[in-house]
Amino acid sequence: MIRTAAPLATGAALKADALLLSLTQAGYTHVAPAILQPAEPFLDLSGEDIRKSLYLTSDATGEELCLRPDLTIPVARDYLASLRAGRPAGYCYLGPVFRYRGGRTSEFNQAGVESFGRQDRAAADAEILALALESAAAFGMIPDDVDIRTGDVALFSALIDALDLFPVWKRRLIKDFNRKVSLAEDLAQLTIATGAGNEYEGVLAALAGSDRKAALALVTDLMSIAGTTNVGGRDVAEIADRFLEQSTLKGGALPREALQLIERFLGIAGEPDEAAAQLRGLAADAKLDLTAAIDEFESRTGFMAARGVDTKTIRFSTSFGRGLDYYTGFEFELHRKGNGAEPLVGGGRYDGLLTRLGAPEPIPAVGFSIWIEALTQTGSAS
């Protein structure tokens, strides 16, 4: 049963409407995506684990549908279906979303902004953070009440790309960056050689030292001989990646120097300017070229200051992530001070999302979502 949210109190509703008006005046078009959405994009982008949180149904053709659990993907899909697809466009929204959350209400209100197609990424990121802070202020949150937490997965990706690691390790570490438990497990597993027996020892031995193309060719041949196209729901590419990963892990441990460098990187935190200095020091010590990623980081900080954000109040951490694997760069959350667990506002850059939704070419994208009830209550909701 869906536990519906209580209607917003008059004062909160007026603030929400005023917020929406201010966002449209800032140049963001008000949109209202359909409540009923195809389930596949949510399952594909967030994994099958999200299934238990979705309210699912199907149409007469058997297509699986769901009540929208958030608004970012529906807004992105509508943008791609519009005449503005591929061109710069900004949208704002306010409406209910539906997600099972245990004993809490399953229907709750979400507002937010999505910006597509802007090539000036650092400036767009800064604008999004400034708008998020203004949105919190519209609900009475003064700067001293707000804890600003930021990170940048692009910095981690640049570090991993610069290290001399097997490609499968790079893909796995970058994929798991936002999943703190998985990343910790990866770092632990990649520091030891795995010599346990395996029923596919022959396949793993054949793949030793191979690249992804060779692994895909081998698995395709083996599955063709077996007369099947998938095993346990995994297709050829997924099986090839899994075999290649296991083969690589059997080949030895993650070099201790690389592990120490990753751990040093993940320990960097502080004000953005301080963090940038630490990052440049790490890059110089390790003789790694991280210049482009750090330059972008510093440029974003400059644009934030230009928009009136006090950057000394920002808590940056290289290990900060929001738990969604489609983020590709800047990530942030606004929290009420003294209530660290649940965000009031959260968002970031997700340049890879629109190609995964069908865009023929990559389209830059950045945005944030606002949990209205969290902003209107002393406690929090998410």
H or E stretch covering 162:
helix 153-162
C-alpha to C-alpha distance for 318 and 139, rounded to whole angstroms: 30
Cα separation, 303 vs 40, whole angstroms? 37
- Give the span between the Cα atoms of 270 and 265, in whole angstroms: 13
CA dihedral 28, 29, 30, 34 (to 10 degrees): -120
* Angle subtended by helix axes 167-175 and 153-162, to nearest 10: 170
**One-letter-per-residue 3-state SS of 50-110:** HHHHCCEEECCCCCEEEECCCCHHHHHHHHHCCCCCCCCEEEEEEEEEECCCCCCCCEEEE
Strand order in the sheet with 64-67: 36-38, 64-67, 56-58
Q: What local confidence, expressed as pLDDT, does residue 328 receive? A: 92
Gap between the Cα atoms of 381 and 344, Å rounded: 8
Predicted local distance difference test score (pLDDT) of residue 101: 85
Q: What is the full per-residue pLDDT of the chain (382 aa) written as tens digits?
A: 555 555 666 667 888 889 999 999 999 999 999 999 999 999 888 766 788 899 999 999 999 999 999 999 999 999 999 999 999 999 999 999 999 988 788 999 999 999 999 999 999 999 999 999 999 999 888 888 899 999 999 999 999 999 988 777 787 788 778 666 567 766 766 554 444 444 444 444 444 445 556 555 655 655 555 555 554 556 656 665 665 565 555 545 567 888 889 999 999 999 999 999 999 999 999 999 999 999 999 999 999 999 999 999 999 999 998 877 789 999 999 999 887 678 999 999 999 999 999 999 999 999 999 999 888 874 333 3
Per CATH, is 10-153+317-376 categorized as 2.40.160.10? no
Say what the pLDDT of residue 382 is. 35
Query: At which residue do the structure tokens 């449209």 appear?
Result: 24
The pLDDT score that the predictor gives to residue 226 is 52
CB contact set of 181 (below 8 Å; sequence gap of 6+): none
DSSP SS3 for 224:
helix
Residue 199 has a pLDDT of 46
Tokens representing 10 are 């008059």
Residues 6+ apart with CB under 8 A from 340: 147
Q: How far is CA 252 from the centre of its chain?
A: 30
CA–CA separation, 276 vs 290, rounded Å?
A: 11
Residue 22 backbone zone (phi > 0: left; psi -120 to 50: alpha; other: beta): alpha
Residues 6+ apart with CB under 8 A from 247: 203, 204, 205, 207, 208, 210, 215
Is the backbone of residue 358 left (phi > 0), alpha (psi -120 to 50) or beta? left
The CA–CA distances, whole Å, from 212 to 97, 215, 252 equal 39, 5, 18
Which phi and psi (to 5°) does residue 288 adopt? Answer: -115, 145
Rg (CA), the chain: 22
Structure confidence at residue 381 (pLDDT): 36
Confidence at residue 192, expressed as pLDDT on a 0 to 100 scale: 47
Q: Note the helical H segments in 208-340.
A: 212-226, 236-250, 256-266, 272-286, 291-306
Q: What pLDDT does residue 254 have? A: 65
